[in-house]
Structure 1
Amino acid sequence: MSVEIWPHVAPDQLKAAIETAEKRELDWLIDELRETLTNLKHGLEDCYALLAPIDPGSTLVLSTPRNEVVKGHVTRVGTRIVKGTIHLRLRTLPQQTLTINPDHPIHLTSLTTLHSLLTHSIDLLALTLSYSYPSATPTAPLPTDLPPPHFLSAQLRLLAQSLAEASTHLKGTPQTAPDPSWTTLSASPSHFTPPLPQPHTNSSHPSLSFHLSIQDSSLVLWLRALEPADAPLNFGTKLALAIGTTRRLEHDESEKVFGYCCNGNVNDAEHTHSTPPAALPQEHTTTATSHTPPGNQPVPLSGTRKPNNSHSNNSSSTTKHPAVDVFVREKVRVESADPSLLSLSAKLTALGHTLALARRNLAAVMGEEVGGEGGED
């Protein structure tokens, strides 16, 4: 079965008609993309608001189920843990209470990077809209000079990569996978009142590692009781360990030596938040029209904060602590679901699906292929 066009059209006329129809379809899709990009920008601003440092913040309970090994709460404001009180009854350490020093809040690495990614994404959308539709409004007709489709495709690819990375930071490291970041990104002693003791070479004094991370949009606290690997043992303890009357607590990190230090400290200035999204369109309107980017290249963002993965949990001091080889005598994990982060994750997932559909539609009209939602072509 074949399709015939009647009356017959000359090949040259048919080719011109096909090109005209494809151009009309592409123009229509670019017109539709204006509304899609605007909705994406509004959605990302909602995500930004969920991570904004607004008092009183979110109070999260940190307690172990069915026992009172760990019992307490912390308060998250934006990307920082600003206060909290946690009571500990670990088997290998004396009973104690940890109080977070309000003057030295704990910065969460994943949320700090997520904040930068959201800022970068909103900035990218504002610049794309100001360049592609400089004089258009959602209800006004498109200007006669339409943006190059390859430019829009490149900008959408960058945005997809940014959203995929943001979702990855919210998802965090799987619980079944080892996460060695605690050896360098544990909270430094100055974040607590009184300061936490730290392990020292040739000392038998036990210490504690306090490490906060994000997993599946929940706040996860890892507590590790540490013992220097070269700590002297008395004869009675050695004999008890040898004959089995005394055993170390079994966990996945037992009998392993780790190089532990608190060298992840950076200055508070590095954690200051970026310009709020509301100021982005005015900031970049002139930048977008001051030059014409290549048709298949994304517009570089001038004067904006790029995503940075170098932030650490600690921000109060730049003091370097030498690494000490330690054993993990006891390990406790406490998880607390964060409603704001759960909502943020759901919104990012929905925005990712919307962006993926827009990219597939544009690629189909342009006769190109598009990769997955993560932006890999």
Structure 2
Amino acid sequence: MSLDIWPPVSPAELKIKVAETQKRELAWIVGRTLKACEDLKHGLEDCYALLAPVDPGSTLVMSTPRNERVKGTITRVGTRIVKGTLSLQFRTIAPQTLTLSQSFPVHIHVLDALHTHLTESIDLLGLLLSNNPISDSASEANASSTANAAQALSSGMRVLADSITSSIALLKGPPLNEADTSWTTQSCPPSHFTPPLTQNFSFYITLQECSIVLLMRALEPVHAPVHFGTKLGLAIGTFRRLEHDEVDIIFKYKPGGDDYSDTKRVSANHTVDPPAASRPQTANAQLEEVYVREKVRVESADPSLISLYSKLGYLSIVLDQARRNLDAVMNLQLKEYTK
């Protein structure tokens, strides 16, 4: 079986017709890709709205399951925790209630990084769409501009894909079996609470599987003297250390907490923070070697972050398909964009 072209054309004319067809197809796919970019921009703006600092924010219940070692609520507005009250019933320290100072909100640095990715992605799409959409019909005059626009779109969408992938990874967080030692230098400064926290208590907030995760640790200096009664209890077995995954490990801890936790971040509409001169000068304290006497982990799923994760996953699929289509017409080597 053979396939012939009718009416027959010469090989030279056939090459011209093929080139013209490829130009029209490239112009058409560029136009379709620009329309897909418009949809992506609207979708990312919806994602941005889910992370915007809009009152009253999201109030989350923070409570340990099956007991009341930690019980209370926190309120997230944008990328910050602006309100919170937690009752603690630790075994190694006296019962206490932590109240977040409204003058010093706690920044969640993972959400700050996510906010930056979303902002850069929207700006990139705005730049790609700033050019006028190209017509579906290509001619000799605009063939060069069509090829340049296609190359620019391919490069821009590659950067966009990396940004969206990084955003999804931030929401998902590191694996549960992976050790995270960021708390040693990025714990919340004691001055963010009323009354201020003790130096031997770490309050650290992060993200895991679209949930706000709160890790609290009661610390003990390595060279702290041990009471005789404690030594005797450990020797005869009447007193046992609390078992957890960080027991008997020496950490270098920064008592002053995170240097940037109370500075203005890139998030929009944040209130201006107090000048650095008015903050306690504990951020530059030396690192201290400590043991973790007791560790408590509390998490609370955030509906806005779950919705944000789902939207970003869908947009990643749409972007992947648009990139495949464009690269196929441009005769680029197809590859696996998403894992």
Q: Report the Cα distance in structure 2 between the residues aligned to 1:123 and 1:158, rounded to whole angstroms.
A: 12
Match of 1:234 among 217, 223, 227: 227
CA displacement 1:334-363 (0-9 Å, x = unmatched): 110101111111111111110000000001
Structure 2 match to 1:118: 118
C-alpha spacing 1:101/1:275, structure 2 compared with 1 (3 Å): closer
Q: Match of 1:15?
A: 15
AA in 1 matched with 2:176: Q
Residue 275 of structure 2: aligned partner? none
Secondary structure (helix, strand or coil) at the match of 2:201 reads strand
Aligned counterparts, 1:287-366, within 5 A:
319-366=283-330
Q: How many residues align?
A: 324
Residues 56 and 210 (structure 1), Cα distance of their counterparts in 2 relative to 1, 3 Å cut:
same
Q: Which residue of 249, 260, 263 maps to 2:242?
A: 249
- In the alignment, the residues of structure 1 paired with residue 84 and residue 70 of structure 2 have an alpha-carbon distance, to the nearest angstrom, of 13
The runs of 5 or more residues in structure 2 that have no matched partner are 271-278
Is residue 220–residue 290 contact of structure 2 (8 Å, CA) maintained in 1? yes
CA contact (8 A) 1:189 1:195 kept: yes
How far 1:90 moved relative to its partner?
1.0
Match of 1:209 in 2: 202
The whole-number CA distance in structure 1 between the counterparts of 2:23 and 2:269 is 39
Report the CA distance between 1:2 and its aligned residue: 5.1
- Whether contact under 8 Å (1:257, 1:327) holds in the other structure is yes
Q: Are the counterparts in 2 of residues 359 and 370 from structure 1 also a CA contact under 8 Å?
A: no
Deviations 1:184-219 (A, max 9, x none): 111110110000010xxxxxxxx2211110111110
Aligned to 2:276: none
| TM-score (norm. length: structure 1) | 0.80
* Pair 33,142 (structure 1): closer, same or farther in 2 beyond 3 Å: farther
Q: Using the alignment, how far apart are the partners of 1:70 and 1:33 within structure 2?
A: 51
Aligned partners of 1:80 and 1:106 also within 8 Å:
yes
Cα distance in structure 2, aligned partners of 1:148 and 1:222: 49
SS at match of 1:87: strand
> Could you tell me which residue of structure 2 aligns to residue 163 of structure 1?
164
For residue 241 of structure 1, report the CA deviation from its aligned partner: 1.9
Shift of 1:35: 1.3
What residue number does 1:369 align with? 333
Task: Measure, in 1, the Cα distance between the counterparts of 2:289 and 2:23.
Answer: 66
Unaligned runs of 5+ in 1: 199-206, 277-315
Code of the residue aligned with 2:117 in structure 1: it is: L
Q: Which amino acid aligns with 2:188?
A: A
Name the TM-score, length of structure 2 as normaliser: 0.89
Residue 265 of structure 1 corresponds to which residue in structure 2?
Answer: 259
Partner letter of residue 260 of structure 1?
Y
C-alpha displacement of 1:175: 1.5
Tell me how far apart the structure 2 counterparts of residues 46 and 244 of structure 1 sit (CA, whole Å): 58
- Pair 1:142–1:162, CA change in 2 (3 A): farther
User: Quick one: which amino acid aligns to residue 197 of structure 1?
Assistant: T
